[in-house]
């Protein structure tokens, strides 16, 4: 199972580098089911893993990062992610409405994976089909929403960030991928500082191996995966994510 976890980490890095989103949604399931990490701890580890990986991807694709637009989205997202990890997550009771918090986290996470699969299945033309402009306030609100999801579940949220950048901020898809990596990197790493403040224990060398595998996949995808192949791979990955989400939900509930 550990081998599956590390191979999955490499494939996750490939997906994140190729699409700027989606891959990070598998971090928590890989840690929980592949490496036996407790769900609440896995959401914290996920922030560190995804943050480091996305940062390397953003550096590699620095010419495709819209710094000003990405910063506008990132600031409220970073603040919300940090506050959620530092103050909300540590105070979640062990049982909520009779459901253990670990079970609740994984059920909610599987639901998020289904949403992610639907968003990833859409093509660039579907994202770019509108020319309606949107106010800055709406962009800030979405930044807060993505920050909360990242903080609670440890997901990078790139599958929500890219549609926001394309539809709300009119950024071309190629720029949106690099900008998404930049945003995910900032809010994930700073969000993990909230876990650090709360006293999370870093499990080594497992975490180091996982990060190394993910970064390797990121480097391979950003340097060698042709852009024209990404949409088809994205749809295949979306179907895989949806199938895995259903299996997870069945496992946790049944």
Predicted pLDDT at 232: 55
Query: Maximum CA pair distance of the chain?
Result: 50
Bridge partners, residue 100, by sequence: 95
The HSE-up count of residue 117 (CA atoms within 13 Å, CB side) is 18
Residues with Cβ within 8 Å of 159's Cβ and at least 6 positions away in sequence, in order, are 21, 22, 25, 115, 116, 119, 120
CA–CA separation, 167 and 44 (whole Å): 30
Bridge partners, residue 96, by sequence: 99
Angle, vertex CA 242, rays to CA 173 and CA 92, nearest 5? 95
Query: What parts of the chain have a pLDDT lower than 70?
Result: 16-24, 120, 122-135, 156, 222, 224-234
Q: Tell me the chain's radius of gyration from C-alpha atoms.
A: 17
Question: What is the per-residue burial (b if ≥16 Cβ within 10 Å, else e) of 12-23?
Answer: bbbbbbbbbbbb
Mean pLDDT of the chain: 79
Predicted pLDDT at 13: 79
Whether residue 67 contacts residue 177, with contact meaning beta carbons closer than 8 Å, is answered with: no
Domain that holds residue 139: 2-253
The total domain count for the chain is: 1
Predicted pLDDT at 79: 92
The two counts, helices (H) then strands (E), for the chain are 12, 2
Predicted pLDDT at 128: 52
Whether residue 120 contacts residue 232, with contact meaning beta carbons closer than 8 Å, is answered with: no
Residue whose pair of structure tokens reads 């996920």 in the numeric block: 46
Residue whose pair of structure tokens reads 């990955």 in the numeric block: 237
């Amino acid at each position: 199972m550990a081998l599956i976890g590390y191979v999955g980490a490499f494939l996750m890095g490939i997906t994140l580098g190729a699409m700027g989103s989606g891959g990070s949604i598998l971090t928590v399931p890989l840690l929980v089911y592949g490496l036996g990490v407790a769900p609440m701890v896995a959401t914290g580890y996920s922030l560190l893993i995804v943050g480091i990986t996305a940062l390397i991807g953003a550096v590699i694709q620095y010419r495709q990062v819209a710094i000003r637009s990405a910063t506008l989205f990132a600031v409220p997202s970073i603040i919300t992610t940090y506050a959620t990890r530092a103050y909300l997550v540590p105070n979640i009771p062990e049982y909520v409405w009779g459901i253990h918090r670990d079970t609740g986290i994984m059920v909610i996470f599987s639901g998020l994976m289904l949403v992610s699969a639907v968003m990833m299945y859409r093509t660039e033309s579907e994202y770019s089909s509108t020319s309606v402009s949107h106010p800055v306030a709406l962009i800030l609100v979405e930044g807060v929403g993505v920050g909360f999801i990242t903080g609670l579940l440890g997901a990078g949220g790139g599958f929500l960030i890219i549609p926001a950048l394309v539809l709300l901020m009119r950024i071309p898809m190629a720029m949106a991928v690099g900008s998404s990596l930049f945003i995910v990197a900032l809010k994930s790493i700073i969000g993990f500082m909230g876990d650090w403040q709360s006293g999370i224990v870093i499990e080594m060398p497992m975490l180091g191996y996982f990060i190394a595998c993910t970064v390797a996949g990121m480097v391979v995808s950003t340097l060698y995966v042709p852009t024209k192949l990404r949409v088809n791979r994205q749809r295949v990955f979306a179907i895989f994510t949806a199938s895995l989400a259903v299996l997870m939900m069945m496992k946790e509930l049944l």
